[in-house]
Structure 1
């Protein structure tokens, strides 16, 4: 590449992980050199109500200093910043930023928020890395990184403890490199040594600007009349508002008016959990109906009201049969619509 005033090198590595990701992060960070010419930002899905010991766990094995993310901290090469519970980790104006913005895919911190903000801020200087994890958080963020000229890397899904996140980031997000963890340091070294021309990078899209602003709880973005996407006909599992469908880079995803965002896999998982909750409520209602009918039938029989007693007994039996079908479905734990006919057939 011919040197120019706009030529630079990649200097920001953003990493996303979830289930099975701690061991992958330990192996990755434990193999990076102390003079890494880049800042590393890490998001791993965390419980919101507990203190995280992940920075200390990773610091024990890394030659680089690993710290819990601090709002406003500079992006210093050779430093690893790890997301803290209940805060999105973002890149804003060359600094670390923490935000309590809307959850994405049910998570705060979320991988997509970090990747998207890094892509917006640093464009082709970004390397996105997706490690072991369930579902597909990180896929939309990978689309954003590649749209701005950055490069995507995923852990080999066959090696990962949970291959879903890296597989989606590769197949749908378009990550260019699939690599085993023991080969990752050499790949990162090569990518960080490459020169990139920032002037060739596409500018951030209006969608990227708006979604990054929403993640920061920007008042103008939150109060804007227009919402990205078109009405989907689905409801948001978090706030029950209308979801808008967004088509970006061949990936359809969803966001509600107040900013909750959902990937297809995450939305399907939340719908499944909501359906299970509804089935348990229905089962409770059926069992209460059966118990009431049994009591009223016994009282009617004691008083010699045989016709009324028979009516209540029939209601009891119908409720009990329906409850048996729901128990069978709940026992299978399969809420994709396939188990219900089987359960009915067995009933």
Structure 2
């Protein structure tokens, strides 16, 4: 970690998702070998990643997957490995398999938040192309701790949702195209630190949650209040985070959602539930028809079985209509 020039920013954290690869490869090919440390999260889930190889090939900075305990130093791009959150604790890297945030692991917000809590105004946060709105809350934490915010112009992004959300909810310092990003970052890291505000309590509490420090319920009560909605990932109670924009939710096991992400997750779960219900009704329909074939329709039992079949058929038609509405 650079420490000989305390008036400059010496940690750059980048959040990227779909559509960001051209920007990342151009950036790594352009920055000088002694550029401050870059910590990079790209949404890759569990998929094998060759991202460090792609970044190191054309570039002058070294690039590799991060490991727990790694020092954070100039000239190096540390990339979050597949299926692990990359955090900063006590000035070094910490990897975890904590709960997904915004449906992602690795996720952007945990890195941004932990870097802001650890390094304060020394951090420059960058949000690039991607779906939904991961990175917005983390960028807010960076700004609250005195850091700077850079966002790709949505018009320049292949997937504009993440940049658009950041611009809507964060006091961004620079909006840039991918082509100009390297120049903007070289300018940003030279900006003097005017003040070093204390880490806000809300940022500290939420960072402690992802670090497994203290009592989860108590920290959630300190930053929000329980809702009537359950976590779609584990079924636990969701807390609504106070004064969050966009609205955000966390459960005590660690899952975190923005309102848009929660809506998409619930929509997917509802769709799955409808298909399971349809399968169950179709199977019961077959069983009832086998009973009718075996025993016939005569008598009270036969009439009841025919009524059951009609009700089941009606239910199947209604479920198919609901599924079609969801598709439409």
Q: TM-score, normalised by structure 1?
A: 0.86
Match of 1:290 in 2: 285
Tell me, in whole angstroms, the C-alpha distance in 1 between the residues paired with 2:33 and 2:325.
50
Q: Cα distance, 1:253 vs. partner?
A: 0.6
Aligned with residue 86 of structure 1, among 78, 83, 86: 83
Equivalences for 1:1-347 in 2 at 5 Å?
8-36=7-35, 38-48=36-46, 50-197=47-194, 200-218=195-213, 220-222=214-216, 224=218, 227=221, 228-248=223-243, 250-301=245-296, 304-305=298-299, 308-331=301-324, 333-334=326-327
Tell me, in whole angstroms, the C-alpha distance in 2 between the residues paired with 1:76 and 1:245.
37
Tell me, in whole angstroms, the C-alpha distance in 2 between the residues paired with 1:51 and 1:10.
32
Aligned length: 324
Tell me, in whole angstroms, the C-alpha distance in 1 between the residues paired with 2:161 and 2:245.
18
Tell me, in whole angstroms, the C-alpha distance in 1 between the residues paired with 2:174 and 2:322.
41
Change (3 A) 1:316 1:242: same
**1:86–1:100 contact (8 Å) kept in structure 2:** yes
SS at match of 1:258: coil
**2:209–2:219 contact (8 Å) kept in structure 1:** no
SS at match of 1:8: coil
**1:290–1:317 contact (8 Å) kept in structure 2:** no
Tell me, in whole angstroms, the C-alpha distance in 2 between the residues paired with 1:112 and 1:276.
28
SS at match of 2:87: strand
**1:143–1:249 contact (8 Å) kept in structure 2:** no
Q: Cα distance, 1:285 vs. partner?
A: 1.8
Q: Cα distance, 1:194 vs. partner?
A: 1.4
Q: Deviations over 1:290-309 (max 9, x none)?
A: 2223223333436x43x544
Change (3 A) 1:274 1:62: same
Q: Cα distance, 1:190 vs. partner?
A: 1.3
Tell me, in whole angstroms, the C-alpha distance in 2 between the residues paired with 1:221 and 1:8.
36
Tell me, in whole angstroms, the C-alpha distance in 1 between the residues paired with 2:113 and 2:183.
25
SS at match of 2:68: coil
**1:298–1:309 contact (8 Å) kept in structure 2:** no
SS at match of 1:267: helix
**1:116–1:208 contact (8 Å) kept in structure 2:** yes
Tell me, in whole angstroms, the C-alpha distance in 2 between the residues paired with 1:124 and 1:290.
64
SS at match of 2:180: helix
Change (3 A) 1:23 1:287: same
Q: Cα distance, 1:118 vs. partner?
A: 0.9
Q: Unaligned regions of 5+ residues in structure 1, if any? A: 1-5, 340-347
Q: Cα distance, 1:135 vs. partner?
A: 0.9
Q: Cα distance, 1:106 vs. partner?
A: 2.3
**2:52–2:79 contact (8 Å) kept in structure 1:** yes
Q: TM-score, normalised by structure 2?
A: 0.90
Tell me, in whole angstroms, the C-alpha distance in 1 between the residues paired with 2:220 and 2:258.
20
Tell me, in whole angstroms, the C-alpha distance in 2 between the residues paired with 1:115 and 1:12.
11
Q: Cα distance, 1:226 vs. partner?
A: 5.6
Q: Cα distance, 1:214 vs. partner?
A: 2.0
**1:229–1:245 contact (8 Å) kept in structure 2:** yes
SS at match of 1:254: strand
SS at match of 2:71: coil
Tell me, in whole angstroms, the C-alpha distance in 2 between the residues paired with 1:293 and 1:241.
37
